[in-house]
Chains A and B, each alone.
Chain A
């Protein structure tokens, strides 16, 4: 009883000595009285320039709808790579250089995840439209958004000079990165730690003619890499591409290489810089098939273990991850200072101590954020484990392929392969159907009727 009273007394003295003066400091008093002017001096007004008018946001929405519709029209009806390219240049100019790359559909993922967990945040209408519309268009027409509307895709597409094919193993490994990026971005946005997609957007510096030194280096190297590996960001990082990939597989209509029927002439084989053309199967020996089936069975058995394991790893990573949240890092600094391990105050701790907020409140907040990171880590880790397993399952499950066709998930509907197809040349009236038939072996499709 006495002890607690002494304790309370200590707190009070502490508050009186330290917190109270600091609290007073934050409330700046009027130290000098307002002058009483004798002359006819009038105070000037404080100018408050207004933000960009909301009406202009509707223009953005209109341009987005128009660009998406045109892109789908060019890809599906006209099958014109030239028009897709021109539209892409326009999008780069408008969404990239004129609108300075904000708001974009990729970044909108974070606003959406943020609003789900922070109901107080009123999400702007434009952000919703930028998030939803490309998804809807993809569900109907494939990834035409990537081909001609996304400014980040456009700036990379413009530098594709000498694309090389990425080895399929490397491609499969790198293909997991977007899922991890998506998971982390949603985790960081949902916990309120920040928008990492925007933070590490490699091309925003080009659109604004100015960025961090590190980001400029990252953007430049990404573009340099993009000359030989086409669209590296889109293929191996873009988190929005993950969603588009899923939806594009289900798309109602999707561009095809040939406007007619494939005759396996192999002319388009090397035409895709993104490795999105599926080739007809070669004969697989029976033993390999049996091994694949065994592997598949093993995979299904270990699937739950992998899910739990990766979820556990994700939740264990809460400490380093949660440090990305300003409140948690501030709490850690305060803890360091209170324990006397650090004597010099940082700007952040100075500001916090001047605000007069109790440290207990800060620690409670930091704890609840860390808890969120733990729960989120389980979910994100489990998600990544699931993706890994599904990717492996996809590798061992062979779907019969009898002709050259696009991989609906990866295909960006850019239209580069169209011109390679002899039947496209027939459609354009450049060669006759007979000439086209001679190039391939339309009649001979031995694998088609394989039981």
Chain B
């Protein structure tokens, strides 16, 4: 008799356990199903919109990487190939040459090469570029705006919460599909045209 009364509550408990287990399992499955229906097989990656960017220099210091994943890129199709380049030369530089004292770039990452009179080509050495955007600011203020910042995906770790995006004052950062990972200016913008 006493054995029976002992057994019954255990059975009931087991039954409750089992049904709760099933219900919870189904719930997780349901949540999973709903999420899958909203999912994309494609990764989302971080990018900054150069049309919103104000070149505040925060990109260079707020990346989790010791050397920021943000680099300056150059849209050659927009560039005026100016001799007096406001993205390359210090404002009020005495001479237009490649001397360190004339350069705006703090790390000397822009290379100035003579093309033909009066044109000069400017290329970015990404190994040296720190992503401060000083050149981009100069080019945007007085030039064609062909120098601008982009998040470089060979370096970016694609953090779940980008620590630059969090501190961006102009809210220029957003998640973009990995198949269109850059927001480019000029003719190059056709490269990742949204279909």
Chain A interface residues toward B at CB < 8 A: 26, 28, 30-35, 37-39, 41, 43-44, 46, 48-52, 54, 57, 100, 102-104, 107-108, 110-112, 115, 119, 121-126, 128, 131-132, 135-136, 139, 194-195, 198-199, 204-205, 208-211, 247, 250-252, 326-327, 330, 346-348, 350-352, 354-355
Contacts and interface: CB of A to CB of B under 8 A. Distances in A.
A38 B116 contact: yes
A50 B181 contact: yes
Interface stretch (B17-25, B89-97, B98-106): B17-25
A250 B43 contact: no
A34 B153 contact: no
B178 A51 contact: yes
Given A48-B153, A51-B43, A54-B178, 5 more contacts: A44-B121, A46-B75, A132-B32, A198-B159, A326-B171
B158 A115 contact: no
Interface of B: 17, 20-21, 24-25, 28, 31-32, 35-36, 38-45, 51-52, 54, 56, 58, 64-66, 73-82, 115-116, 119, 121, 123, 140, 142-145, 152-154, 156-161, 163, 166, 169-172, 175, 177-178, 181-182, 184, 188, 191-192
Contact of A51 (B52, B78, B181): B181
A107 B160 contact: yes
A312 to B, nearest CB: 29
Given A210-B66, A250-B24, A346-B169, A31 B39 contact: no
A199 B56 CA distance: 21
Nearest to A138: B28
Contact of B160 (A28, A39, A111, A209): A111
A139 B56 contact: no
Given A49-B152, A126-B43, A43 B76 contact: yes
Nearest to B84: A32
Given A46-B188, A107-B160, A112-B35, A124 B77 contact: no
B81 A35 contact: yes
A242 to B, nearest CB: 14
A351 B51 CA distance: 11
B74 A46 contact: yes
A320 to B, nearest CB: 18
Contacts of A132: 28, 31-32, 35
B170 A348 contact: yes
A128 B32 CA distance: 7
Given A51-B156, A210-B65, A43 B144 contact: no
Nearest to B57: A347
A54 B116 contact: no
Given A49-B153, A124-B39, A355-B52, A32 B31 contact: no
Contact of A125 (B39, B65, B145, B160): B39
Given A123-B38, A125-B41, A139 B116 contact: no
A128 B36 contact: yes
Contacts of A352: 170
Contact of A54 (B20, B43, B78, B80): B43
Contacts of A30: 78, 80, 144
Contact of A44 (B76, B144, B181): B76
Given A210-B64, A348-B170, A351-B169, A198 B39 contact: no
Given A51-B178, A123-B35, A347-B170, A33 B80 contact: yes
Contacts of A139: 21, 24-25, 28
Contacts of B42: 54, 122, 124
A402 to B, nearest CB: 13
Contact of B38 (A103, A115, A208, A350): A115
B64 to A, nearest CB: 5
Contact of B54 (A199, A250, A354): A354
For the complex of A and B, list the 3 residue pairs with the smallest distance between their C-beta atoms, beginning with the closest: A32-B80, A351-B170, A49-B154
A237 B74 CA distance: 45
Contacts of A131: 35
A123 B39 contact: yes
Contacts of B116: 37-39, 41
A348 B191 CA distance: 30
A352 B75 CA distance: 25
A37 B170 contact: no
A44 B123 contact: yes
Given A44-B123, A107-B160, A128 B39 contact: yes
Nearest to B123: A44
B160 A195 contact: yes
A30 B82 CA distance: 12
Contacts of A136: 25, 28
Contacts of A100: 157
Given A35-B81, A125-B40, A26 B51 contact: yes
B165 to A, nearest CB: 9
12 contacts: A39-B116, A44-B123, A46-B76, A121-B175, A122-B42, A122-B177, A123-B40, A139-B24, A208-B157, A210-B66, A347-B56, A351-B54
A46 B73 contact: yes
B51 A102 contact: no
B112 to A, nearest CB: 14
Nearest to B21: A250
Nearest to A189: B161
Which of B54, B77, B158 is packed against the most chain A CB atoms within 10 Å?
B54
Contacts of B65: 208, 210
B76 to A, nearest CB: 4
Contacts of A119: 38
A214 to B, nearest CB: 12
A351 B145 contact: no
Contacts of B54: 347, 350-351, 354
Contacts of B38: 115, 119, 122-123
B21 A252 contact: yes
Nearest to B166: A194
